[in-house]
């Protein structure tokens, strides 16, 4: 057994990131300034987006995105129960109604057939979540958006740098005649494939991004850098009742260096995934995650499923056994409709979304991070297989 505890998902910060942050701290700008602008431009170029706005989290990226799209009271936005609560909170914050639909059994992503059945005259848009980094069925979702004049705001918190049919997530498609707009929200939280400690990015067409940027900083027509730098002006106007969710240059300094390393980061993540898949494929008590042939997953999370009918212990005991072997694990996610706020407000029952509820009960997320060496990976494999064999039914 390991002597030291293996953390589930610590960040990997190197000397390049530290030097970039120090350069920022020694400069005239530590809040939103030139490095934020550089990060926005380089990030947009990396994924092939026409424009990007850096904000303080993916939650805020979704919030200002929805605001820019005009979502408000009486509107409905369709999304998934298999996500973190922030995806649904932002709809509630704007006094709109989140409409949950069930997920596909293989990817656990939102099911387009269920989306189609949920569309009403009040539906304004769809918020698909690229769960664990595996892209949703975007062709089907865009067809629905075009047919019903809906927007799409993609929750890509897990999905950098994923691809769907060769296109990077965040690269806009040509909208159909009825599509109200397309935006994508990314997360740079400490556990993500690229981190700025806290932070996020919203990408899309320039007109929508410009509107979202105003929402992100008090609804002001000029940010501080534009007002106080040498080329700026003191004058501004408040044109919207905006929020406060801008990114700082300190965060952007981390992002600039992490973005340059991202291809190498992803190559290592895929190496770990391959080792996990090869090790677990022959164990009938385990179900490895899928990667459909038309996608390249970002592999943000390695979500293993337990075939509980082949084990004498439940998921909670399996996790405790891993922790006893110094392996840190998690579960992604407790479905939205099981949380008291949403359960009580909308009178949800566990089986209202049977696929999400059933699969949640057998999910565990294994360590998948860049600080793991080959020995760490083998320790995880050995621990999982040992537990599966020891408690085989």
Query: Which residues belong to the active site?
Result: 192
Residues counted in the chain: 393
Asked if residue 58 lies in contact with residue 185, where contact means CB atoms within 8 angstroms, the answer is: yes
Residue 242 and residue 216 in contact, taking contact as beta carbons nearer than 8 Å: yes
Gap between the Cα atoms of 128 and 144, Å rounded: 12
Cβ atoms within 10 A of the Cβ of 243, count? 18
C-beta of residue 243 within 8 angstroms of C-beta of residue 7? no
146: left (phi over 0), alpha (psi -120 to 50) or beta: alpha
How far apart are alpha carbons 390 and 37 in whole angstroms?
Answer: 54
Torsion angle of C-alpha atoms 253, 254, 256, 260, degrees rounded to 10: 150
Q: What is the CA radius of gyration of the chain?
A: 21
φ, ψ for residue 58, nearest 5 deg: -65, -30
Burial status of residue 349 (CB atoms within 10 A of its CB: 0-12, 13-18, 19 or more): exposed
CA separation for the pair 355, 18 (Å, rounded): 44
Look up tokens 């994923």; give the residue: 162
The tokens 């409409």 sit on which residue? 99
Side-chain-facing half-sphere of 152: CA atoms under 13 Å: 34
**Partners of 296 in the β-ladder:** 163
Closest by CA position to 11, among listed 261, 289, 385, 364: 261
Instruction: Print the SS3 string covering 326-349.
Output: CECCECCCCCHHHCHHHHHHHCCC
User: Under a CB-based contact definition with an 8 Å cutoff, are residues 157 and 84 in contact?
Assistant: yes
């Amino acid at each position: 057994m390991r002597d030291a505890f293996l953390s589930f998902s610590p960040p990997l910060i190197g000397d390049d990131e530290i030097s970039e942050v120090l350069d920022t701290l020694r400069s005239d700008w530590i809040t939103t300034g030139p490095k934020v602008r550089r990060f926005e431009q380089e990030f947009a170029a990396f994924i092939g987006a026409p424009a990007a706005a850096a904000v303080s989290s993916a939650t805020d990226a979704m919030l200002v995105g929805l605001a820019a799209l005009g979502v408000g009271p009486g509107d409905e936005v369709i999304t998934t129960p298999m996500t973190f609560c922030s995806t649904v909170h932002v709809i509630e914050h704007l006094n709109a109604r989140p409409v949950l639909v069930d997920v596909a059994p293989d990817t656990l992503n939102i099911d387009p057939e269920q989306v189609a059945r949920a569309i009403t005259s009040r539906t304004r848009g769809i918020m698909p979540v690229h769960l664990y980094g595996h892209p949703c069925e975007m062709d089907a979702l865009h067809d629905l958006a075009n047919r019903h004049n809906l927007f799409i705001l993609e929750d890509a918190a897990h999905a950098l740098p994923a691809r769907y049919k060769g296109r990077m997530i965040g690269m806009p498609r040509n909208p159909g005649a009825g599509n109200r707009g397309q935006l994508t929200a990314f997360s740079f939280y400490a556990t993500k494939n690229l981190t700025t400690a806290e932070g996020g990015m919203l990408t899309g067409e320039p007109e929508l991004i410009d509107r979202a940027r105003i929402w992100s900083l008090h609804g002001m027509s000029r940010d501080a850098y534009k007002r106080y730098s040498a080329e700026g002006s003191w004058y501004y106007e408040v044109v919207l009742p905006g929020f406060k969710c801008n990114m700082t240059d300190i965060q952007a300094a981390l992002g600039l260096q992490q973005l340059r390393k991202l291809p190498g980061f992803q190559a290592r993540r895929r190496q770990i995934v391959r080792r996990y898949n090869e090790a677990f494929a022959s164990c009938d008590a385990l179900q490895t995650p899928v990667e459909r042939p038309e996608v390249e997953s970002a592999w943000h999370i390695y979500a293993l499923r337990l075939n509980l009918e082949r084990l004498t212990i439940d998921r909670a005991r399996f996790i405790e056994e891993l922790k006893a072997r110094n392996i840190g694990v998690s579960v992604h996610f407790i479905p939205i409709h099981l949380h008291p706020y949403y359960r009580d407000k909308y009178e949800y029952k566990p089986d209202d979304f049977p696929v999400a509820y059933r699969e949640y009960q057998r999910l565990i997320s294994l360590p998948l991070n860049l600080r793991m060496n080959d020995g760490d990976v083998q320790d995880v494999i050995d621990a999982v297989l040992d537990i599966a064999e020891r408690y085989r039914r």
